[in-house]
Each structure stands twice: as structure tokens, then as C-alpha cells.
Amino acid sequence: MDNGEKKISSLFDGRTIFNIPEYQRSYAWEKVQLIDFINDIKNQRRARSYFLGTILFEEKGLEDNYEVIDVVDGQQRITTIVIFMKCLISSLKKTSDTEKERDELELLSETYVKHRKQYKLRTQQDDNDFFHSYILEDNEGDLFIRTSSQRRLLEAKQYFMKSLSYLSKDELNEFKYKIDECSRVLVYSVKDTAEATLIFETTNDRGRGLTNLEKIKSFMMYKAHIASDEAVSILLDKIRSRFGEIYREHECFNNEIDEDSLLQYHFISYGDWTGKDYQLHVYRLKYVINNLISTGGNESALEYIDTYSKQLKETFYAAKEILNSDLSYLRDIFILNRIGNFWPLLIKTFKYDGTYDKSQFSLVARYLSIYSFRVYVVNQSRGNTGQSTLFNLAKEFFGDFNVLYSRLEGLINFYCNDRTFRLGLMYSNLYERMASKDLCYFYWKYENYLRMNFQPKSSPMSEQELCSQNSKFKMSIEHIASQNPRAGVITDVSIIPDITEEFQEKYLHCIGNLTLDPLSANSSKGNIDFDCKNTGYFIKSSFKCQNELNEFLDDGKWTNVSINSRAEKITQFALEQWSANFEK
């Protein structure tokens, strides 16, 4: 293919198949980019050219008389153009009145969508069949979306079809003219992988919106070419294959952690840094490789690139496994949602744990869940408390789990020992001090402790039940005795103490006067029969943390004595549940 500026129509014309290589990221455009795309074309003046950007190709040769071209840079734009033209052709077909118009649309489809039996664009393997079957064709009867990129592909098609459905025939033809005749791209087409890498590195790593992951990929491929006096195809193929796997793994993350954060966590785990150098991890990586090459250590640079890309691929795999794990202590960390400081250590220990059930990793997760609850939730420490120590533990860890356990236990006791933990739990205004979701987590753990240890035993309450956002089942924290009886768990005024100023200050919002309750429960309590109120309600509740309230009644009433007794029981439970000195 010739280099230079080309009209979009001439770029797609002919027997050409565009292929998105496996090492490229999957389709990533969201609605905001789609809106910009369609608005830019709509607002473009008819007499002027519209520049869509630079496209970098690597020519791969012939396949069944078709020229196959890898899209090294520009795959998002190429894919979007194909989807848009598919939707535009479908819309125009609904308005075509003559045989001539229908023939012209068939030619247009052969240019942009499918030439005879060959589709003009191939995406990565995981999405290719979906792209052809559901995006370029209209087989939506058995639609099944497996990846985030497939969802984005479908959303792009749906957005374009909806946007075009409001346009007249003349307006649709105006879009066709602007794409076909006015839109242009600047094409670089090469036949050598190393040359394509060189062009990509020098034209894209200049602050044009690439992610750090993409910058590092292009940089390593370019430096592998520079550092080798011989053919580098083997190492380049490794790098490309590994980054292809990295992108595929990240598609499974469901936006739970972004790729650049994970890249930084990887550097914290394996990089050579001091202080807060890890915040400049892209610069540090480049410095190391450039320094090796400039001092004649080409072989060392190639080995570094090989090792780094291999470890990075394993990090993305480990992160996916961690996100999908059902280990209870790990799930606790995710529920508490303060995981940023823990990621490097979780990744490193997951990789080093060779046990079949990840039992060593599970113990690390237990320590970190204890740390999260004691330090961040109960002690209300700042979000970066212990961060530097945790990051250094990850960097310095190479498989000695017993030493790590000891360090984590010491760290927990340093920031929140048992005395501090107890004082935090017994704080008189705990309801206002702790976030509602953290209190729900705490009483959820207490509820399950009661279900599993006291007769009649029952199945524990699941994480899904705790985190449900359904208004009927959503959990909340309720006062047992409230200023407004109908708003609390106890609705019978006869057993509620006088809400004096002292009671409000010392007991109303403390740990002993709070319990887990569905949001929907208040209205139902207001409607129950008199016989079901008072102690009868506690017995009928499906929550053991409410069933047990009868045990704490003081001469048939809920008093400060009741609250103090229950607070002591719950605090003892917490000291055991989140003890840093547990038996391994």
C-alpha cells in the first residue's frame, strides 16, 4: 500500500483485509468518543477535507488473492469507521427506491464491510466471530456477550443505528458523501515489524493520550530492535504475544482496576525504587533500559525486557485470579473497598504461593483484611497509613511467608493495638463516626458469627445479600432504641427507656444499640400486630442479631444496662474476629 494522504474510500477500496493483531488492545471506544466521531462528521463543511488521523500498517502479504494488512496504530478509528458504514448502509437501504440505488449500496458494502465472502476487517480472535456475526451481520437472536470489548462493539452499533434513524434520506447521503469523499487519513505502510515499531514509538510516545501500558509496550519493542545486532523477531514475537494476553486478561476485569494502576503496582512489586520513585515508574523503566543500552549492556537490556514483559503478563493473570477468587478474607478486603495499598503485596504473594488451595496467600489476605478493618475503619486512620511499609513489604518479598506474617502482625499492632481497637469500637457516637457500609459489614460478620455458633444454627448470610442494592433487600443499620420508636427495631414504647440527654450522648449511637436490618423493615414493623411486638418481634425476626435482644432486656426493658451488656459481647467478638495474633 502506498504511503501518504488518502481518502477513506480509496483506503478501503480493492481486495484488502485489515487485521487487528493479537497484541493490540481490543475495541475501547465508549459513547463519548462515538458522539465526537459522529458530530465531527456532521459539522464538517462539505467543501473541506476532514482529517481522521494517522494510520500505521504492516503489510503481511497475500491470502487468497487478498492483501492482508495489520493495523499497528489506528485500530479504534478503523473499527469505528467500519461499524458506522455498516449502520449507514443499513439505514440507506430502508430509503432506497430504485435498483440503481440498491446496486450502489451493494458496492459500498463491498468496499467497507464485506467483499464477496471476505470481511474487510478482522478483530482479535476473541471478538472476531462476534464482530462478524452480530455487528457486520444482524444475527442478534442468540446474542451472547463474553467480553467488555464485545459490549462496546455492540453499543457502538446501537448508538449509530439510533442516531441515523432520525435522519432523512438526504441527510444520510450527506454522511455518505463526507465519509467517502471528504474524510482523509495519513497512511504509513511498512513491510517490517521493527520498522513499524520504530514509527509507532517515535510518533505516539509524545503525550498523545496513550496509556502507560501502551507506551511501555511500544518502548520495549523499539528498544529490543535497537539493542540487538541480529534479527529480533523471536523477542518481538514474545513481547507482542505477551501484551496480547495482557489485553485479553484486562478485558475480564470489568473495570474493577485500570491497567495503568496495575502497571504501577507491578513496578512496586518488582521494580528498583526508593522513596516514592514508583510514582514515576514509566520514567524509571525507560531509564534502566536506556542506561543499559548506552553503557554497552545490550544483552542485559534484552534480558531485562524479556523478564519484565513475562512478569507483567503474569501480574495481569494474577490480578484476574484475585478478582475472581472466592477466598473469604480476600472478599472481605473487596467489601471494605480499601484495597489500593494492598494490591502489590496481594499480587506478589499470589504468585509465590505454590499451594494448591492458595492457603499461604489466604493468610496474607486475612492479615490485610484485619489491617483494613482495624486501621482504616475503626481507628479512622488516613488512607495512606502504612502505605510505604506495605509497598516495601511487597518489593522485598521473595517467598518467606512466615517472616511476612510476623511483619504484618507487627504493623497491625503498631497502628491499632487491642486497646486502641476496643476504644474505637466502644466510642459512644459510633453510628456517626463509621460509614454505614462499614457498619453493615461489621454487623454482617457478627450476624454470621451468631448463625454459625448458636442454636439453632443456620446458613450464613451471603456477600450478595449484604451488598444487594435492591430496595426490598438492601441492608441498613438501625437503632434498637430510637428517639422515634417507629424508626427503631423496638417499636413498643413500653420497653424503651426515656431518651434523656445523657442517654442520647452515651448510649443512643453506640455499638450496643445498633443492629443490622433491611431498609424495608421499618414500615413492616409499624404494621405488625400488637402480639408480635415487644419480645415477640425479636423471636420472629430472621436475624439472629435481633433474636438475641431478649437476652439483654433489663426487667423486660431495653435500658443502658442492656446496651452495655450487648456492647461488651459484640466487642469481645470483634477482638477475636479481627485479632492479629490468630492461630495459623
Q: What is the pLDDT of residues 236-280, one digit of tens each?
A: 888 888 988 898 888 888 778 989 999 999 999 999 888 888 889
* Torsion angle defined by CA atoms of residues 299, 301, 302 and 304, in that order, rounded to the nearest 10 degrees: 120
Distance of alpha carbon 109 from alpha carbon 266, whole angstroms = 45
Cis, bond preceding 21 (omega within 30 deg of 0): no
Domain boundaries, the chain: 4-191, 205-419, 430-577
316: its cell numbers = 495481569
Distance of alpha carbon 304 from alpha carbon 292, whole angstroms = 9
- Among 53, 51, 111, smallest CA distance to 82 is for 111
Average pLDDT over residues 418-438: 95
**Amino acid 533: pLDDT:** 41
Q: What are phi and psi of 112, to 5 degrees?
A: -105, -25
Distance of alpha carbon 105 from alpha carbon 161, whole angstroms = 17
Distance of alpha carbon 315 from alpha carbon 484, whole angstroms = 53
Question: What is the DSSP-derived secondary structure letter of residue 173?
Answer: H
- Among 478, 509, 482, smallest CA distance to 497 is for 482
**Amino acid 489: pLDDT:** 81
Are the C-beta atoms of residues 381 and 426 closer than 8 Å to each other?
A: no
> In which band, very low, low, confident or very high, does the pLDDT at 423 lie, cut at 50, 70 and 90?
very high
User: Diameter of the chain by CA atoms?
Assistant: 94
* Torsion angle defined by CA atoms of residues 99, 102, 108 and 113, in that order, rounded to the nearest 10 degrees: -140
**Amino acid 537: pLDDT:** 58
How many CB atoms sit inside 10 A of residue 473's CB? 13
Least confident of 95-99, 116-120, 295-299, 490-494: 490-494
- Among 126, 272, 267, 286, smallest CA distance to 219 is for 286
pLDDT in tens, 141-162: 667 788 888 999 999 999 999 9
Only one residue has cell 483506503, namely 11
Higher model confidence: residue 118 or residue 2? Answer: 118
Distance of alpha carbon 207 from alpha carbon 434, whole angstroms = 42
- Among 341, 345, 347, smallest CA distance to 323 is for 347
**Amino acid 526: pLDDT:** 45
Q: How many CA atoms lie within 13 A of 288 on its CB side?
A: 19
Only one residue has cell 505516539, namely 204
**Amino acid 194: pLDDT:** 60
Cα 256 to chain centroid distance, Å, stands at 2
Distance of alpha carbon 91 from alpha carbon 163, whole angstroms = 10
- Asked if residue 219 has pLDDT above 70, the reply is yes
- Which 3 state secondary structure label does DSSP give 218? helix
- Asked if residue 440 has pLDDT above 80, the reply is yes
- Asked if residue 205 has pLDDT above 60, the reply is no
Average pLDDT over residues 49-59: 81
**Amino acid 503: pLDDT:** 87
Higher model confidence: residue 44 or residue 553? Answer: 553
Average pLDDT over residues 92-109: 89
Q: What are phi and psi of 339, to 5 degrees?
A: -100, -15
Residue type, 306: D
Strands 183-190 and 121-122: unpaired
The continuous run of DSSP H or E covering 167 comes out as none
Q: How many CA atoms lie within 13 A of 418 on its CB side?
A: 11
**Amino acid 463: pLDDT:** 94
**Amino acid 487: pLDDT:** 73
